[in-house]
Amino acid sequence: MSKFIIRLAPLLVLLLLASVPQANAQGVSAYFGLGSATDSADSTFINNGATNGRKGDLLFVLPNLTPGGISPCPCLLSPAPAVGVWFNGSQWAVFNEDESTMGTLTAFNILVLPKATKTAFTVVAKGKARSGNHVVISAAAANNNPHALLQVTQNFGPDAVFNPNQVGVRYYKGLRRWVIFNEDGHPMPAGAAFNVLVGSTGSNGGKTALVTTTTSNRAGDSVRISNPETNGNPNNFVLATQDLSPGGKAGKGDTSVLYAGYSGSREALVDWANPAPAVGAAFNLLVFGS
């Protein structure tokens, strides 16, 4: 498993890579250094040994406003569209699902899993699994488990389908299944694909959590996270997916694209340039201390 942050700048890209050996369950080996990525049209191509030439990788992505707790000038950033990942035959990229130009001074948290497993896999919206605005996940790790905490990232392959909509997850009690759905209600495109991670198994050190928006943790356009892995730690790494039915109970949706953002001594989920999530909106987290 690898996790890293890419930060796009006009002249230089800073890449931080933390590599966790599969055999070492007790500790983490990490190194930090300069890497590169290429900003091209709607995509940011990742140039890193953890992903280059590795079509079977599963990538999970969250935009990050403040990598390492440091923010580029917010005035240079505009609200991002929904993002996904794709593989061009030699490199993985993060791309804008609406095909708009990828901006500079943008950063992403990226978790890389080296292969599909029982808890990490790709779901494709086809056949009976696709209905209305959603696609049903059928996997033993998540079936009949309303308390599962899922992470989801859109994947352009294998059918090369755009889905320019923010997605979340919800649990259907009648089906005893989780689904991935378009938050804005738009129909799920046939062939749309998604990388799914159930829980933290295989992440080698990630810890799951659930944060629900309340009047006390909502500030401006953000939901502040209180977690021992992130509190007072600007170098934390977090992924998040909106959960419409936390614990199998009805919640609130959130159509905005999420960012991670660190301010003061707390990590937060930010609806950039949009109202903060509604009270009751919940988010599945996967958190690393560094």
User: Could you please report the per-residue DSSP string of 108-156?
Assistant: EEEEEESS--SSEEEEE--GGGEETTEEEE--TTTTT-TT--EEEEEE-
The three-class DSSP label of residue 288 is: strand
Instruction: Confirm whether 139 is domain-assigned.
Output: no
Kindly state whether residue 288 falls inside one of the protein's structural domains: no
Full domain range(s) for residue 14: 2-24+31-113
pLDDT at 72: 61
Burial class of residue 22, CB neighbours in 10 A (0-12, 13-18, 19+): exposed
The pLDDT score that the predictor gives to residue 107 is 85
**Amino acid type, 266:** R
Residue 171 within a domain: no
88, part of any domain: yes
Residue 102: inside a domain: yes
The answer to the question of residue 169 being in a domain is no
Q: Return the pLDDT at 1.
A: 53
Domain count, the chain: 1
Closest residue by Cα to residue 251 from 226, 224, 284, 275: 284
Whole-number pLDDT of residue 75: 53
| Distance from C-alpha of 126 to C-alpha of 76, rounded to nearest angstrom | 39
Give the pair of three-digit tokens for residue 146. Answer: 């309303």
- Can you give the pLDDT of all 290 residues of the chain as single tens digits? 555 555 443 222 223 333 333 322 222 222 222 334 566 789 989 988 889 999 999 999 999 988 888 876 555 456 679 999 999 999 999 999 999 988 776 788 999 999 999 999 999 999 999 999 999 999 999 999 999 999 999 999 889 999 999 999 999 999 999 999 999 999 999 999 999 999 999 898 999 999 999 999 999 889 999 999 999 999 999 999 999 999 999 999 999 999 999 989 999 999 876 788 999 999 999 999 97
Domain-embedded: residue 148: no
